[in-house]
Amino acid sequence: MILEVKHGYFGYTKDNDILRDISFVLGEQEIMTILGPNGIGKTTMLKCMTGILQWTQGQTLINGTPMGTSREVQKHYPIGYVPQAHSLSFPYTVREVVTMGRARHIGVCSVPSRYDKEIVDKAMEQVGIVPIRDKPCTQLSGGQLQLVFIARALAGEPKVLVLDEPESHLDFKNQFMMLHLIKTLVKERGISCIMNTHYPEHALRLADTTLLLGKNSYLFGKTQEIITEQRVKEYFDIEAKILSVPYHDESIKAFVVLESFDRAEEAYSSS
């Protein structure tokens, strides 16, 4: 399935668009990252793209058909949205929360079928949360909850998985495991994926394409061409060097920030 955003505009208030004329294409089994400074509009972008918020102008197309107007398109090409992990106030178990991802498939007065249960089990297995399936979600860590939300999205059998900063609550190793999980899900399920991230390294390691959001402009293209030292300076206002570390048959990219704390202090006090 091909997802396309065409000339998208959005503002929370009139005459104050935070997203202006955004266009990009997500191809079959592609991974795309969205990068940009805090508050630039990354989460808003995901919400407009998935129909949680309405574009004020422009549209999201699925295989060429506008998503907003076609229930058929929404039914046949579901999008799985995984929000930033936040705590749940009601102590639903992990299994119950993941089963909620089947809501579209289960009638209002029906109980989950054997097939629904199999899909839920498969989703929990694939993200590695079977051992905690009977725990109340109020007793989970932020990282565990993030995995539960991914399993909930997978239970809806999405064609596109949309993740808002999936690595944000994870330690160093588990951040890497999350990237690996996303890559595996895309490959094994034949889906595509869009994720917001604050880590340019993660984009370079994982993503085919990248949308780099700035204050008055944006860039979209192949990740290796979009994320350069010059762009990092331009879009994040920070001097960084991208190093290439050879590892087996890969060349892994690492970022080193070339700023001193004294200079940062000066910039902070003059802003």
Ligand X SMILES: Nc1ncnc2c1ncn2[C@@H]1O[C@H](COP(=O)(O)OP(=O)(O)OP(=O)(O)O)[C@@H](O)[C@H]1O
Crossing angle for the helix pair 172-189 and 114-127, to the nearest 10 degrees? 140
Q: Residues 105, 111, 113, CA angle at the centre, nearest 5°?
A: 65
HEC string for 100-152: HCCHHHCCCCCCCCHHHHHHHHHHHHHHCCHHHCCCEHHHCCHHHHHHHHHHH
Report, in Å, the least distance between residue 40 CB and ligand X: 4
User: How many alpha carbons lie under 13 Å from residue 165 in its C-beta half-sphere?
Assistant: 18
Applying CB under 6 A, among 14, 15, 38, 114 the residue interacting with ligand X is: 38
What does the alpha-carbon distance between residue 169 and residue 140 come to, in Å, rounded to a whole number? 12
Identity (one letter) of the amino acid at 256?
Answer: V
Site for ligand X in 42-71 (CB under 6 A): 42-44
* Residues near ligand X (CB under 6 A), total: 10
Considering the complex, state which of residue 36 and residue 101 has its C-beta at the smaller distance from ligand X.
36
Considering the complex, state which of residue 7 and residue 215 has its C-beta at the smaller distance from ligand X.
215
What does the alpha-carbon distance between residue 75 and residue 15 come to, in Å, rounded to a whole number? 34
Mark the segment that binds ligand X (CB under 6 A) among 1-9, 37-45, 116-124, 225-233: 37-45
Considering the complex, state which of residue 1 and residue 40 has its C-beta at the smaller distance from ligand X.
40
Report, in Å, the least distance between residue 252 CB and ligand X: 25
What does the alpha-carbon distance between residue 88 and residue 248 come to, in Å, rounded to a whole number? 42
Applying CB under 6 A, among 1, 22, 35, 40 the residue interacting with ligand X is: 40
Query: What is the DSSP-derived secondary structure letter of residue 84?
Result: P
Asked if 53 contacts 47 with a C-beta cutoff of 8 angstroms, the reply is yes
Considering the complex, state which of residue 39 and residue 68 has its C-beta at the smaller distance from ligand X.
39
Report, in Å, the least distance between residue 22 CB and ligand X: 12
Applying CB under 6 A, among 8, 41, 158, 200 the residue interacting with ligand X is: 41
Report, in Å, the least distance between residue 12 CB and ligand X: 4
User: Is 202 an interacting residue with respect to ligand X (CB under 6 A)?
Assistant: no
Applying CB under 6 A, among 8, 36, 101, 166 the residue interacting with ligand X is: 36
User: Is 12 an interacting residue with respect to ligand X (CB under 6 A)?
Assistant: yes
User: Is 16 an interacting residue with respect to ligand X (CB under 6 A)?
Assistant: no
Binding site for ligand X (CB under 6 A): 12, 18, 36, 38-44
